[in-house]
Structure 1
Amino acid sequence: MDQAPGSPQTPAAGNGTPGCYRHPDRATGISCVRCERPICPECMVSAAVGFQCPDCVRGGSGSARTPHASAPRTIAGGTIARDPSLVTKILIGINLAIWLTALAAGRPLVDALDLVGQAFDPATGELVGVAQGEWYRLLTAMFLQEQVLHIAFNMLSLWWLGPALESALGRVRFIALYLLSGLGGSALSYLLAAQNQPSLGASGAVFGLLGATAVLMRRMNADMRPVVILLVLNLIITFGWSNIAWQAHVGGLVVGAAVAYGMVHAPRERRALVQRATCLAVLLAIVAVVWVRTLQLTG
């Protein structure tokens, strides 16, 4: 979110994510529990714990189920989708549509939807902002961009990180991760930024996906060096560029990592309960931050 003016041996699948060992062009966040080779939804076979690749199943442990015995699940317990990047595409489409709408409508729409804590609006002679009850700005600012480079960088990052996470978590969990990360970024920006400083952008949510990617790769015992390098570079840019709302980036990163940890480390027998509790706890923390800041600004 920017401040408004004013197995490692498998080839990568084109976006830095491992590709299936049988279909290298298909990005996947899931690996075989026996040989640890990356496998796509078409190749994975549900086992007692996790998934196995067809080669290990033919190897004869007897612990894997046939693909038709039960619906395969992602590492987080989500349903395997035929198109593992559908939600990512929809999110990109929403961001692009709002960007084009903002270009056509001009500054009034941006001013009505961006994130601002509390500011004086000379057009109406009244105070506006989240502190004045416009809580929707915490959400709308996540989908609002202005400059071409701003929307281009955020959408390329979303396309690079989204499909692998969507494939590994499942659609519903991925949506929860994205929205909570974006709201976490908005909440920390609201808490720490100047009350009259507007900000906007999807980068809080994108940083959440970056944090979730690190957690997922660690869970899968994958090579962490690429994601660590990417994270360090992004943090250098975040704190080294004066026109970037670093609070949103840090908030999104922390929330994304926390939500992803709860999703991929939840015990199998209580997976749904732990995942829902994690998301609820994060949401309540966000609400608490917004409530405290609102009390500060309204006295």
Structure 2
Amino acid sequence: MHCYRHPDVETGIRCTRCEKPICPECMVSASVGFQCPDCVRNGSGTGHAPHANTPRTVAGGRVVADGRLVTKILIAINLALFIAVQAAGTQLVDQLDMIGHAYNPALDEVVGVADGEWYRLITSAFLHQEAAHFVFNMLGLWVIGGIVEPELGRIRYIALCLLSGLSGSALVYLLAPENQGALGASGIVFGLIGAWVVLARRHRYDMRPVLIFVAISLVFTFARPGVSWEAHVGGLVAGALLTYAFVHAPKVRREFVQYGACGLLLLIDLGIVLARTAALT
């Protein structure tokens, strides 16, 4: 979206009264959300002077001019790893992909999370080998991330992406065969889809297009062979739950609830990893 008064400025915030998109310069802090200057001027809102409070997103994050900065950085990381994989071949994939426990004849050793390589739970979420897989995930990250990042703010958005990717990998580790490899940013993308559902519901948008998109995404997840459905489902559930905690946390103790939700999800993922590791070793 672009601000109705500044068409060259992208924004993810709407006026709580008329729902016109507004940029940080046009936001007027109100008792609930932000209002546009027109609503305040016409007396239809209860806004305060723009300088009275720092503009905040619906989750309490700081509103910034570039609402896609973190998304751009995540895409750059994925691109750098994709180029590295194309240059190094399968050797780099074998060292970074998500695999539970297996013997790798190329390395002549046992590898996997159960062997102490916990970093695979995160590195696999930024790793791609096939061009089509990379392009599809980056398109989803750019489009849906561009919706979610301005709504949450950078810090909460980073937490959402990392924990969605980690939760997807944890579910792969728990349910997939121990020697089955998995890679890709699908866990993060599906986490953003889950966040989008919660945000759309929070703003009382028409949910039909959102739910149709989610349904189609899940159909492709389970209908296509070779897709790691565990990463998709794990990311989707984690993203939805975490975003719900972000946007519905009471203002009087908002950060405590939000950071507590992040810590709780991290502990759940840790418990899954420890339990699965104990079972395999």
Query: Same fold by TM (over 0.5)?
Result: yes
Taking the TM superposition and a 5 Å limit, the aligned residue runs for 1:1-299 are 13=1, 19-22=2-5, 28-60=11-43, 63-298=46-281
CA distance in 1, matches of 2:194, 2:6: 27
**Secondary structure, in 3 states, of the residue corresponding to 2:204?**
coil
> 1:4 maps to what in 2?
none
**Secondary structure, in 3 states, of the residue corresponding to 1:34?**
coil
CA distance in 2, matches of 1:297, 1:27: 49
- Conserved? CA contact 2:12–2:67, under 8 Å: no
Q: Which amino acid in the other structure matches residue 39 of structure 2?
A: C
What root-mean-square deviation, in Å, do the aligned CA atoms of Structure 1 and Structure 2 show? 1.6
Q: Which amino acid in the other structure matches residue 251 of structure 2?
A: R
Deviation at 1:117, TM superposition (A): 0.2
Deviation at 1:66, TM superposition (A): 1.5
Please give the per-residue CA displacement for 1:59-113, whole angstroms capped at 9, x wherever unaligned: 2267312222221111111111111111111110110011001110111111000
Q: Which amino acid in the other structure matches residue 125 of structure 2?
A: M
- Conserved? CA contact 1:27–1:163, under 8 Å: no
Q: Scaled by the length of structure 2, what TM-score is found? A: 0.95
Q: Which amino acid in the other structure matches residue 121 of structure 1?
A: N
Identical amino acids, percent of aligned pairs: 59
Higher RCO (CA < 8 A, seq sep 6+): 1
Deviation at 1:252, TM superposition (A): 0.2
Please give the per-residue CA displacement for 1:244-290, whole angstroms capped at 9, x wherever unaligned: 00000000000000110000111111111110011111111111111
Deviation at 1:29, TM superposition (A): 3.6
CA distance in 2, matches of 1:21, 1:245: 41
Please give the per-residue CA displacement for 1:142-171, whole angstroms capped at 9, x wherever unaligned: 010011101000000000011221111100
Q: Which amino acid in the other structure matches residue 31 of structure 1?
A: R
CA distance in 1, matches of 2:15, 2:253: 22
- Conserved? CA contact 2:103–2:109, under 8 Å: yes
CA distance in 2, matches of 1:84, 1:211: 19
CA distance in 1, matches of 2:211, 2:141: 17
Structure 1 spans left out of the alignment, 5+ residues: 1-12, 14-18
- Conserved? CA contact 1:28–1:168, under 8 Å: no
**Secondary structure, in 3 states, of the residue corresponding to 1:201?**
coil
Q: Which amino acid in the other structure matches residue 175 of structure 1?
A: I
CA distance in 2, matches of 1:219, 1:26: 24
- Conserved? CA contact 1:142–1:202, under 8 Å: yes
Structure 2 spans left out of the alignment, 5+ residues: none
